[in-house]
Amino acid sequence: MARSDSCLARVGAGVAIGGAVGGAVGAVYGTYEAIRYKVPGLLKIRYIGQTTVGSAAIFGLFLGAGSLIHCGKSY
């Protein structure tokens, strides 16, 4: 396996793990905020979904970028 394949796999894994963690945190935080601000009816589902997706994207981006930066270092 070439080094670039290994690096790409690491970055992909970082994005996936970051997305999963971010999604979980976003779902919990979105639910808390929807209840706290008394979001009405079905808008709660939309609010929680937006928070979940946004948080997953941000966490995935940063963990993927961190994996990419770490990929260039040799210890």
Q: What is the pLDDT of residue 72?
A: 77
Residue 32 domain flag: yes
Give the pLDDT band of residue 73 (cuts 50, 70, 90): confident
The 3 state secondary structure assigned to 7-72 is HHHHHHHHHHHHHHHHHHHHHHHHHHHHHHCCCCCCHHHHHHHHHHHHHHHHHHHHHHHHHHHHHC
Q: Which residues contact 65 (CB under 8 A, 6 or more apart)?
A: none
Residues of the domain holding 23: 17-65
Residue 59 domain flag: yes
* pLDDT at 17 exceeding the cut of 90: yes
Write out pLDDT tens, residues 4-13.
Answer: 568 999 999 9
Give the pLDDT band of residue 18 (cuts 50, 70, 90): very high
Residue 57 domain flag: yes
Q: How many domains does the chain have?
A: 1
Reading the block at residue 25, the tokens are 């945190």
What's this model's pTM, rounded to 2 decimal places?
Answer: 0.86
Q: What is the pLDDT of residue 16?
A: 98
